[in-house]
Amino acid sequence: MTEAATIVAQQPRRVFLTIGRQGVDAFAENASSWFLIRSIDAPDTSMPPHHEVLLARGPFDSAGEIELMRSRGIELVVSKNSGGAMTEAKLVAARELRIPIVMIDRPRTPPGDFETGAVDDVVSWLRRRL
């Protein structure tokens, strides 16, 4: 999150921040940019001085995301890589509007004793342990 905040701070912009309510405080010291902060729940941390909070739950469609970005004059999107289809509409909208995206990687999962994507491997692993 800190790296994304550093990137945003390099140039004043109108930023669409879709990282959830946690992590907003990483952008709190940025007084040169304006932030549209969309979250399901209201952030309970420090906020950037210039912001609008939009409480909403997806899924969202591309047409709605385009309208939202245009109406707020968005120049940069900062989003978490949730790994699901819920983020697709805003990414499509940003691409269509030629708005750059800063994507925050998902936290890495801790290594486990066993990893696989095959059901047969899971069954074999369970049989050895039971």
pLDDT bracket for residue 80 (50, 70, 90): confident
User: Can you give the pLDDT at residue 46?
Assistant: 93
Residues 84-111: what's their mean pLDDT? Answer: 84
pLDDT per position as a tens digit, 67-79: 999 999 999 999 9
Tell me what percent of the residues of the chain surpass a pLDDT of 70: 91
Instruction: Judge contact between 88 and 64, C-beta under 8 A.
Output: no
CATH number of the domain within which 16 lies: 3.40.50
Residues 86 and 18: their CA atoms lie apart, in Å, by 11
Range of the domain at 114: 1-128
Q: How many domains does the chain have?
A: 1
